[in-house]
């Protein structure tokens, strides 16, 4: 498998001594500095942390110590993953200046494995958005075409990884925030089963949906990173010990694999996107997989269910930002109520406010039963619908997004229209399933299209293997559209 | 018209766990502000709560001790409201699936106070107002509480008092809380309404928040009863509202009206998983629980022949009751053991806190040795007292203070000889007694007691002396 991923490739260069980790790190830091003006992928570079880790990796290499597969690999974290001593803002004005005093569990793990943090990456404010443009630092751009968005909300990670500003990154996926930008940027975005990766230290948007996962250049990379971070964490009560290693199961034959195609996922998607997906399914068939068509009518409830429940949780999770303990505080106020009110009015952007208000409304006395409770019930219906689907097939194949990357400022026009673009990604979060977006060609606008594969809970090894087999068979022309960062 | 008081209580009790409900910070009272805090209990972004198992166990024990049903499945909910002492802007509590339901506390007048529920939740921090500034101290934030909610079953202030006292006794007894009102580990919200005597329907209620002293609670209910009766008598209506008690004026006053009623937007806490209590867990906890204090009280009467008042004092603190039983075990004179505790030992323990700790220099086994000497007739009660004093002072066993002669006891002949000698040596007193001054006998008795170093039975000696003096 060594040859199949960027991480393994870089690891090989480091181990063979072809390049030192310090050299490699400097190269990535330089690229990040040069390119960030164009891409706005990073909101903060961390050269000191990076070079310190790199020196340590070089020391260990020369001492002949055994290193983890992620040791020395230049990577990035979305700015909602807490990093002790490094400002973490969720790209919101309200958290500017906030420096966590503890590490997110995923970052502790990666730190321990000597991964090299290049910087913290751009995102939609509090992970709310589909274009990265709600960031208080301005949006990240798509490396394929800087007139287009990188996607959201983990747009910074996707832009950095696609643009060679990092070898891999961790994003968070609440309604598609890993898979959608990966699809827009032509790379791999993997959202694991809810509970497979600890959320401790991930600044919450919607707790029962949020999931940390890797954004990488290949499925093999995603599996490597997943294996590192999918650990049971006693600090997160919802974390599970059921995750099985995925990397070692890559390469298995997928002959006879039943790929489910629920027709609702394909309704109303752009014709060029549909064509790319149909091609991808043909590639899978050529590998011996079997296509199973069926219907999942309850998919149509996904968007309202998602926006009601996620916003309800968000309204509660974001109540703590009052400027009293950390982050920014308004300058002028007469009393406590005004202090909190003004801090929040000035600190939160329009999209965050919209979702807090929506969430507060649906939880309010008198509306709870009509909205929140009904959405909870429908969530159960959707979970059941997926269980039924997985009794008919092994994985589900769907578009990641019904279109390609939007032009800049496209989403500002209509919030609801933007919400509609999440239609294919949110069902996975509602049901807590693993889902991966793999590039599957280009649209008529020459922008990447993503194929989404969805598995049953904790079926990561089989799901990633299916994605890997497709990726290998599809070949370079649909997959690696951009050169990799280490041109050696 | 006569009006009847109707009260319901919501009692918040701090659990005696060593660590907080969602993290491993200490629950110790006091401390420099914000020193008992971590990222979790101050709700830093990204942190997640982790439910302390001991909290659930203590709450289940509280439920078992009050005859509640223990829910096999329950969950935590978020109660959303904004206040600077609440760092997450929601309190993690339980809403529609409390851990314990349908309990009861029986009062001495035979009335049964039904408990609607007992649920677990976290405490908030506190605001400190100093020099015109307001500061927040989160040391208490995340301290585990149970909320015990009664049905509106209380009908008088006496019942309220007895209910709270009983609750305190039960919870202290099973060791789940120290129930100290003055340290805020027991606080009551009191729902008060009145209705014409004989009427079935309840009147409109007012809730008086945060009573943390018995005296204030009594005054607040009295005031509120009078206020509501006055309103109804003058044809006005009671408004449903939350009121606070002002200690200085002795009045209750409205805090907020109905128009801005709270909307806590309760919903399931997504960061915590379902709480499951299996039958086995419940029964293991039940087996761990000490005897029900009410049953023990009755048993102290039947097994040891103690008057109820004495038994009640011993039972109030479980450690003392256990001490008593260990000391009285196998003796013929358990009341003497009780008297030693309630008399001389209590005299040395000033505060309730000291009583609760019951840190005395004499082990129950050593007290038992002393009582056994009394049983065997080797020493008299007064010698028990003086010896116990010395034991309490020194921590040494009784044998250190009793010589062989003491332990040998005093024969009837010896006593008679000593009495005769005393009469002979106190001629003046003897003459006075014979002349009709009854009190003079005491002087002669004193010299008998002195001569026997307290070994004589005073009553027996007195009888003998009177007999001798008649001659």
Contacts of A82 (CB under 8 A, 6+ apart): A88, A100, A102, A103, A104, A107, A201, A202, A203, B45, B46
Of the listed A130, A177, A198, A218, which one is catalytic?
A: A177
* Residues B103, B171 share a domain: yes
Which of A169-183, B108-122, B268-282, B449-463 comes out lowest in average pLDDT? Answer: B449-463
Residue B333 has pLDDT above 80, yes or no: yes
DSSP class per residue in A426-451: HHHHHHT--EEEEEEEE-TTS-EEEE
Domain count, chain B: 3
* Residues B356, B321 share a domain: yes
* Residues B263, B242 share a domain: yes
CB contact under 8 A, B265 and A315: yes
* Residues B225, B102 share a domain: yes
* Residues B395, B423 share a domain: no
Is position A177 annotated as part of the catalytic site?
yes
* Residues B30, B156 share a domain: yes
Residues of A with CB under 8 A from a CB of B: 80-82, 88, 90, 95, 98, 100-102, 104, 199-204, 206-208, 234-238, 312-313, 315-316, 319-320, 322, 324-326, 336, 340, 360, 363-365, 368, 372
Contacts of A353 (CB under 8 A, 6+ apart): none
Judged by a CB distance cut-off of 8 A, whether residue B45 touches chain A is yes
CB contact under 8 A, B271 and A202: no
The pLDDT, as a whole number, for residue B402 is 78
Of the listed A8, A82, A130, A153, which one is catalytic?
A: A153
| Confidence bin at A2 (pLDDT 50/70/90) | very low
3-class DSSP state of B129: strand
3-class DSSP state of A121: strand
Contacts of B344 (CB under 8 A, 6+ apart): B385, B388, B389, B392
The pLDDT, as a whole number, for residue A3 is 54
CATH number for the domain that contains residue B462: 1.10.10.410
Residues of chain A above pLDDT 70, percent: 97
* Residues B353, B276 share a domain: no
The mean per-residue pLDDT over the stretch A233-245 comes to: 97
Cα A369 from chain centroid (whole Å): 32
Of the listed A9, A78, A93, A141, which one is catalytic?
A: A78
Residue A208 has pLDDT above 60, yes or no: yes
Residue A10 has pLDDT above 90, yes or no: yes
Is position A384 annotated as part of the catalytic site?
no
* Residues B30, B135 share a domain: yes
φ/ψ of residue B202, rounded to 5: -75, 150
Q: pLDDT tens for residues B13-25?
A: 999 999 999 999 9
Residue B469 has pLDDT above 50, yes or no: yes
* Residues B347, B268 share a domain: no
Cα B261 from chain centroid (whole Å): 36
CB contact under 8 A, A237 and B78: no
The pLDDT, as a whole number, for residue B437 is 85
* Residues B172, B80 share a domain: yes
| Confidence bin at A450 (pLDDT 50/70/90) | very high
* Residues B216, B337 share a domain: no
Contacts of B349 (CB under 8 A, 6+ apart): B355, B358, B360
Q: pLDDT tens for residues A260-301?
A: 999 999 988 999 999 999 999 999 999 999 999 999 999 999
Is position A120 annotated as part of the catalytic site?
no
Query: Please, what is the Cα angle at B396 between B395 and B398, to 5 degrees?
Result: 125
Nearest CA in chain A to B51: A237
Residue numbers in B near A90 (CB within 8 A) = 45
Alpha carbons A243 and A222: distance in angstroms, whole number: 14
Residue A446 has pLDDT above 80, yes or no: yes
Task: Establish whether the linkage from the previous residue to A153 is cis, with ω within 30° of 0.
Answer: yes
Residue B210 vs residues B11, B162, B186, B213: alpha-carbon distances, Å: 9, 18, 9, 9
The pLDDT, as a whole number, for residue B413 is 80
The pLDDT, as a whole number, for residue A484 is 52
Residue A457 has pLDDT above 90, yes or no: yes
The mean per-residue pLDDT over the stretch B280-298 comes to: 90
Residue-number span of the structural domain to which B430 is assigned: 412-470
* Residues B143, B84 share a domain: yes
**Shortest Cα distance from B64 to chain A (angstroms)?**
27
Out of B220, B249, B284, a domain closes at B284
Residue A83 has pLDDT above 70, yes or no: yes
Out of B252, B284, B316, a domain closes at B284
Q: pLDDT tens for residues B91-128?
A: 999 999 999 999 999 999 999 999 999 999 999 999 99
Pairing of the two strands A258-262 and A290-294: parallel
Residue B155 vs residues B83, B192, B216, B217: alpha-carbon distances, Å: 35, 10, 18, 15
Out of B236, B251, B284, a domain closes at B284
Judged by a CB distance cut-off of 8 A, whether residue B134 touches chain A is yes
Q: Is A351 exposed, middle or buried (0-12, 13-18, 19+ CB in 10 A)?
A: buried
Nearest CA in chain B to A326: B44
Residue A309 vs residues A312, A382, A467, B200, B205: alpha-carbon distances, Å: 5, 13, 30, 43, 35
């Amino acid at each position: 498998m060594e040859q199949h991923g960027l991480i393994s490739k870089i690891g090989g260069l480091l181990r063979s001594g072809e390049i030192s980790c310090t050299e490699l790190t400097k190269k990535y830091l330089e690229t990040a500095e040069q390119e960030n003006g164009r891409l706005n992928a990073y909101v903060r570079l961390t050269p000191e942390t990076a070079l310190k880790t790199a020196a340590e990796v070089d020391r260990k290499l020369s001492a002949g110590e055994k290193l983890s597969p992620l040791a020395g690999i230049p990577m990035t974290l979305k700015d909602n993953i807490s990093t002790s001593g490094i400002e973490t803002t969720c790209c919101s004005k309200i958290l500017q200046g906030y420096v966590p005093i503890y590490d997110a569990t995923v970052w502790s793990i990666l730190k321990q494995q000597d991964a090299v943090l290049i910087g913290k990456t751009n995102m939609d404010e509090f992970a709310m958005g589909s274009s990265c443009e709600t960031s208080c630092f301005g949006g990240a751009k798509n490396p394929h075409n800087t007139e287009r968005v990188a996607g959201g909300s983990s747009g910074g990670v996707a832009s950095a990884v696609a643009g060679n500003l990092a070898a891999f990154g961790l994003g968070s996926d609440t309604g598609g925030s890993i898979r959608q930008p990966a699809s827009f940027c032509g790379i791999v975005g993997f959202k694991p089963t809810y509970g497979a990766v600890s959320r401790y230290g991930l600044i919450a948007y919607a707790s029962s949906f949020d999931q940390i996962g890797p954004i990488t250049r290949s499925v093999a990379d995603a599996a490597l990173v997943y294996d590192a971070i999918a650990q049971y964490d006693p600090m997160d009560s919802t974390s599970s010990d059921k995750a099985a290693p995925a990397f070692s199961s890559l390469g298995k034959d997928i002959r006879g694999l039943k790929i489910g195609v629920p027709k609702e996922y394909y309704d109303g998607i752009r014709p060029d996107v549909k064509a790319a997906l149909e091609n991808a399914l043909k590639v899978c068939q050529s590998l011996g997989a079997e296509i199973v068509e069926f219907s999942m009518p309850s998919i149509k409830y996904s968007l309202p269910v998602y926006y009601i429940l996620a916003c309800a949780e968000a309204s509660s999770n974001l109540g703590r930002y009052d400027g009293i303990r950390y982050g920014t505080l308004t300058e002028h106020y007469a009393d406590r109520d005004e202090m909190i009110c003004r801090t929040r009015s000035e600190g939160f952007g329009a999209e965050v406010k919209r979702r807090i208000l929506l969430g507060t409304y649906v939880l309010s006395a008198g509306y709870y039963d009509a909205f929140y409770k009904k959405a909870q019930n429908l969530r159960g219906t959707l979970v059941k619908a997926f269980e039924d689907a997985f009794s008919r097939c092994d994985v589900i194949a769907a578009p990641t997004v019904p279109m390609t990357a939007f032009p800049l400022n496209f989403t500002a026009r209509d919030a609801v229209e933007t919400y509609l673009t999440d239609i294919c990604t949110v069902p996975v979060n509602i049901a807590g399933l693993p889902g991966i977006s793999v590039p599957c060609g280009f649209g008529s606008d020459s922008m990447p299209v993503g194929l989404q594969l969805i598995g049953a809970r904790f079926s990561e090894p089989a799901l990633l293997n299916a994605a890997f087999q497709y990726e290998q068979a599809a070949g370079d022309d649909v997959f690696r559209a951009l050169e990799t960062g280490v041109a050696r | 018209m006569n009006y009847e008081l109707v009260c319901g209580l919501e009692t918040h009790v701090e659990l005696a766990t060593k660590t907080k409900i969602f993290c491993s910070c200490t629950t110790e009272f006091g401390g420099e502000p914000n020193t008992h805090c971590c990222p979790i209990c101050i709700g830093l972004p990204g942190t997640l709560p982790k439910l302390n198992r001991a909290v659930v166990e203590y709450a289940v024990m509280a439920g078992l001790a009050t005859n509640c049903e223990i829910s096999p499945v329950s969950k935590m909910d978020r109660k959303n409201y904004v206040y600077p002492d609440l760092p997450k802007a929601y309190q993690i509590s339980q809403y529609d699936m409390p851990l314990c339901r349908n309990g009861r506390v029986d009062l001495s007048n035979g009335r049964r106070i039904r408990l609607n529920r007992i649920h677990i939740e976290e405490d908030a921090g506190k605001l400190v107002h100093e020099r015109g500034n307001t500061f927040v101290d989160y040391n208490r934030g995340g301290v585990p509480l149970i909320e015990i909610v009664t049905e509106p079953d209380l009908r008088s202030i006496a019942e309220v008092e007895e209910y709270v006292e009983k609750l305190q006794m039960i919870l202290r007894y099973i060791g789940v809380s120290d129930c100290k009102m003055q340290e805020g580990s027991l606080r009551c919200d009191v729902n008060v309404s009145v209705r014409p005597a004989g009427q079935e329907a309840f009147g409109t209620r007012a809730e008086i928040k945060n009573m943390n002293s018995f005296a204030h609670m009594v005054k607040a209910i009295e005031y509120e009863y009078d206020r509501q009766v006055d309103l109804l008598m003058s044809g006005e209506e009671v408004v449903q509202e939350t009121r606070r008690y002002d200690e200085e004026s002795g009045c209750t006053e409205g805090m907020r009206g109905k128009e801005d009623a709270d909307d806590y937007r309760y919903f399931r806490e997504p960061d915590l998983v379902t709480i499951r209590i299996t039958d086995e867990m419940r029964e293991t906890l039940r087996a761990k629980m000490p005897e029900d204090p009410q049953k023990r009280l009755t048993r102290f009467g039947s097994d040891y022949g103690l008057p109820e008042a004495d038994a009640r004092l011993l039972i109030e603190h479980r450690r003392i009751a256990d001490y008593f039983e260990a000391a009285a075990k196998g003796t013929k004179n358990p009341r003497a053991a009780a008297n030693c505790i309630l008399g001389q030992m209590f005299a040395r323990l000033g505060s309730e806190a000291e009583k609760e700790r019951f840190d005395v220099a004499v082990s129950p086994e050593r007290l038992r040795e002393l009582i056994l000497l009394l049983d065997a007739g080797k020493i008299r009660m007064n010698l028990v007292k003086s010896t116990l004093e010395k034991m309490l002072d020194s921590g040494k066993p009784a044998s250190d203070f009793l010589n062989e002669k003491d332990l040998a006891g005093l024969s009837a002949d010896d006593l008679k000889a000593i009495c005769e000698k005393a009469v002979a040596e106190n001629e003046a007193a003897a003459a006075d007694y014979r002349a009709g001054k009854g009190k003079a006998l005491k002087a002669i008795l004193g010299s008998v007691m002195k001569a026997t170093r307290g070994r004589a039975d005073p009553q027996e000696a007195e009888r003998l002396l009177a007999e001798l003096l008649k001659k």
